[in-house]
Amino acid sequence: MIVLGCNNISLSFGVREILKDISFSINDTDKVGVVGVNGAGKSTLFKIIIGKYLPDSGEIYTAKNSKLGYLEQNSGLDSSNTILDEVLAVYSHFTEMESRMKDLEKSMSTEKDEGRLHSIMKEYSRLTDEYTRLGGFEYKSRAKGVLKGLGFEEDQFSLNAKNLSGGQKTRLALARLLLTEPDILLLDEPTNHLDINAIEWLEEFLSNYKKCVLVISHDRYFLDRITNKTLEIENCECKLYNGNYSTYLNKKAVDREIQQRHYELQQKEIARMEAFIEQQRRWNREKNIIAAESRQKAIDRMEKIEAPKSLPQKVRMEFKSRIASGNDVLFVEGLGKEYPGKPLFKDVKFNIRKKERVFILGPNGCGKSTLLKILTGEIDSYKGSFRYGHNVNLGYYDQEQEELNPNNTLIDEVWSADEKLSETEIRNVLAMFLFKGEDVLKPISTLSGGEKGRISLIKLMLSEANLLILDEPTNHLDINSREILENSLSDYDGTLLIVSHDRYFIDKLATRIIELRETSCIDYNGNYTEFHEYKSKLNLSSDNQSKSAKVTSAKMEHIATKEERARKRKLEKQLSETEKEINTTEARIKEIEQQMTQEEIISDHVRLMELHNELNGLNSRLEELYELWDDLMSQNNE
C-alpha cells in the first residue's frame, strides 16, 4: 500500500532552483535511502513532506491516519525532564492507565456494596487486560533498551536533559522518536553523534521496523544494511531505484551508459537524415523538396533522447609525502589518560610501521580523539610515553577544525599552510576543492562544517607529511567527497593513523584496527568486516562458556509469560482475519445468489454456469472457515 507520494514538487529560493518536478511514491514497509551531494535538496524535501516548507507547485500525499515522525540534523530536546522521564513521556497512555488502576485498587479495598464492587472489579479486569495486551509490562524496559542501544548508560538516566551536550540531546530526540513508532519515519543523518555500536544497534532496530522509513545518510555501510530502495536527488530532479546503495550505484552507471548509447545512436540517425535533407534541397526539384520535407517531418516527430546530465562536480585531491620516513614510524608504550572521576584509557601499547593504515575504534567517550591529541602534542598531561621514528613528519586533521582562524579569508588561511606558493597556485588548489571565484574571499567563520572540513583537507594536502593523523575526516563530507578521500588516501605513499566510525571508509582503507578499552586494547590486522567477524566469534565463545544454571525460575516464568502473550496475540490476529474472511465470503455468496435471480443472467447460460461454480467454491470455503474459527476460539479460551 502506498503510504507517501510526491507529485511534481518544485521549490526555488529566489532565483535558485532547489527541486524540480519531484515525483515518487513509497509503500508502507519500504526502507528508502535518500542520497545526493550536500546542497542537493534532501533536507528541503523532508521539510516539504512534514509541512515546514510549502512547495511552489505540486502535491504531497500521505495515507489516511498515517503518523509522520521527523528527526532533522542536530535536532535536540531542550527539556527539564530527566533522560528516562523524557522518553517515558511517549507512553503517557500507560501512565494514565496505571493511575486509573491504582484508583480502582483503592476503591476495591474500601467498597462495601457488592454491586458496586462487582462493577469496579469488572472495569479493573478490563483495564488490566488492555494494559497487558498493549505491552504495559514491557514499556519501561523497552524505553531503557532504546536508550542503552543509542549509547546512554544506566547511571545517566537520571541526568537532566538540559545539561546534555548537543550530540547527546540529538540521541535523546532520536530515542524518543523511535519509541513513538510513526507510520512514516523521516531521519536526517541519524548516525551523526553515534559510535559504531550504536549505529549497529540502530541498523538492527530499523531492519526490524515494520513501517516506512526514509533516511538521509552519507553512511554507505548503514544504507546497504537497511534500505531496499534508493531515492537520488541530483540536478534538482529525482529518480527512485529498487535496491540498496551499492545496487543503486551499479544501476545508475548502467542507466547512464544505456542513455548515452541511445543518445549517440539517435544523434547519428538525425545527422544522416539531415544530410539527406540537405542533399535533396540542393537538387531543388519538386520531388526532392517533397522528400526533404517528409524527412524533416520525421525528425520533428521523433521523440528526442537527452544526453545524460552532467554529474555534480567532484572534489579533486592528492596526498603525497615530501620525504620518506624510516620503517619504524611510532612507538606507544603504556599510554594512559584520565580526568577527575573519569578514566578514559590506560596501558595502551602499539607500534606503527611505515605505510600501515591503522584505525582507532571504540565507543563514544573512550578517549579516541584524546589519544590523537596526545600524539600530536595538543594535550601534554598523560601517563606513559610515545616517540616517533626517523624522518617522521606528521600532519593532523582535527574534526573540530580548531586550527582554522575564523577571521581569515579562505585564500589567506590556505596560503598560511605554504607561503611559498603564488596566489594563482593557491586559487588552483582551492578550485580543486570547489572553492572558485569570489568564494575564496569569504571569511572562514561563514563556512559550513563541510566547507571547513575541505579547507582543513587542503592544508593537510599541502603539508606533504609522511604520517597523517586524522580525527573523523569523513564527518560533514557527502558521499562523493568521501569516495574521493578514500581513493586519495588509498594511493597515499605514507602512513595513516585514523579515528573514524565510517565502516565503509574503514573497510576500504584499514590494514589494522586498534580498539580502545578502559584497561586494554585489541590490536587486529585486517579491515572492519574481518574485525567484526573476529569480535563476534570472541563474544560467541565467551557467551557459550558463561551459559550455565544462571536462568532463575523467575526468569523462566517471565519467558513463559512472554511466550504465552505472543501466542495469544497471534491467535487473536488469526481469529480477526478469519472473521473478516467469513464476512467477505458471506457477502459475496449473497451477492451471487441475487445475481442468479436476474433475468439477464438466467438467459446467459455461460455467465450462469460461472456464477454457479463460484458459488460452490465459496460455500466449500465458508465451511472450512467456520471449522477454523471454531478451532481458534477453542484455543483462545484454553
CATH number, domain of 222, equals: 3.40.50.300
The domain total for the chain is 4
Same-domain pairing of 411 and 292: no
Spatial contact of 345 and 336, defined as CB atoms under 8 Å apart:
yes
pLDDT value of residue 229: 96
Is 511 found in the same domain as 477?
yes
Residue 35's pLDDT is 94
pLDDT digits (tens, 9 = 90+) for 145-204: 999 999 888 888 888 888 887 788 888 999 999 999 999 999 999 988 888 889 999 999
Residues 470, 516 share a domain: yes
Please tell me whether residues 335 and 392 are part of one structural domain. Answer: yes
438 & 392 share domain: yes
Alpha helical stretches, state H, 438-518: 449-463, 479-491, 503-509
Q: Within 13 Å of residue 259, how many CA atoms lie on the same side as its CB?
A: 13
Q: Examine the domain organization and report whether 425 and 566 are in the same domain.
A: no
Domain co-membership, 230 together with 176: yes
591 CB-contact burial (10 Å; exposed 0-12 / middle 13-18 / buried 19+): exposed
Is residue 439 domain-shared with residue 513, that is, in the same domain? yes
Q: Which domain holds residue 29?
A: 1-77+164-243
pTM to 2 decimal places: 0.74
Question: Is the confidence at residue 554, as pLDDT, over 70?
Answer: no
In a domain, 149, yes or no: no
**Quick one: pLDDT at residue 548?**
41
Residue 223 domain flag: yes
Provide the 10 A C-beta neighbour count for residue 230.
24
Cell of 596: 442468479
**Is there a domain that residue 540 lies in?**
no
Residues 457 and 562 reside in one and the same domain: no
281/391 same-domain check? no
Q: Is residue 261 part of a domain?
A: yes
Assign 564 a pLDDT band (cuts: 50, 70, 90): low
Quick: pLDDT tens for 480-493: 889 999 999 999 99
Mean pLDDT of the chain: 87
Q: How confident is the model at residue 283, as a pLDDT? A: 87
Report whether pLDDT(545) > 60: no
Q: How does residue 457 score in pLDDT terms, banded at 50, 70 and 90?
A: very high
CA 141 to chain centre: 25
Instruction: Locate 64 and state its grid cell.
Output: 489516511
Residues 418 and 443 reside in one and the same domain: yes
- Indicate the pLDDT class of residue 553, thresholds 50, 70 and 90: very low
Residue 123 domain-assigned? no
Query: What percentage of the chain has pLDDT greater than the value 90?
Result: 41
pLDDT for 550 beyond 50 = no
Phi then psi for residue 437, to 5 deg, are 55, -130
Look at residues 579, 590, 594 and name the one whose alpha carbon lies nearest to residue 625: 579
Given 226, 243, 260, which residue is the final one in a domain? Answer: 243
Element (H, E) at 84: helix 83-88
Q: What are residue 231's DSSP bridge partners?
A: 34, 240
Mean pLDDT for the stretch of residues 439-464: 89
Same domain, 263 and 239: no
Report pLDDT digits (tens) over 108-161.
Answer: 888 788 888 888 888 888 888 888 888 888 888 889 999 999 988 888 888 888
Average pLDDT over residues 212-220: 94
Cα→Cα distances 478→396, 416, 482, Å: 21, 26, 6
